Amino acid sequence: MDYIKNGRPLFCLIVALIALQYMGGAYLRNTFWRHDLILWNDVAALSPAKARGHINLGTAFTRIGGYDVALEKFFIALELDPFSPEAHNNIGAAYSLKGLFDEAIGHYENALRLRPGYPDAYNNLGVTYEKKGMIEDAIKNYQSALKINPRYNKAENNLTRLQAGRIR
């Protein structure tokens, strides 16, 4: 029994060292969560054959205006998963933000072929049509998004804004 009592400090030290190691690992891992670019770059690097990491990394680049890098990431995702409506939708968004509206429309339409009930693609298509001055097409797409999701605030706000502008 004495060896158990004498071994207790050693056992506690080992447990404490293991706990410190896990705490340090968690702290280091949490540094990746500070910015989505760092996080998704790490995810894409650790899982290069999965589209999701590349899509989210591209989205992070889109948020900061890095449209060309975002497009590279989205096209990598599309190579990995050719049937990804999210990749097409995000490519459309990046093209639209670059002012390449016809290219954007083609990718939104591809997203909708792959997932007909995709309200984000309808809304984004509406935004792009609106930017092109094609107001009737924009309204139809906002309405389509709202048919799928009646609580989709972006589409509702876009539609309301457009209809209010037509009344004036």
Kindly state the percentage of the chain with pLDDT values over 70.
Answer: 85
Q: Is the pTM of this model over 0.85?
A: no
Q: 108 with 90: CB under 8 angstroms?
A: no
Higher pLDDT among residues 159 and 37, named by residue: 159
pLDDT at 14: 82
Q: What are the distances in angstroms from CA 75 to CA 51, 69, 81, 113, 129? A: 9, 10, 10, 18, 23
Tell me: pLDDT of 11 over 90: no
Note the pLDDT of residue 4.
53
pLDDT reported for residue 1 = 47
Which contacts of 110-113 are long-range, i.e. CB under 8 A and separated by 24 or more positions? 110/85, 111/85, 111/86, 112/85
Q: Tell me: the pLDDT tens digits for 59-82?
A: 999 999 999 999 999 999 999 999
Query: What is the residue-averaged pLDDT of the chain?
Result: 89
Span 89-97, average pLDDT: 98
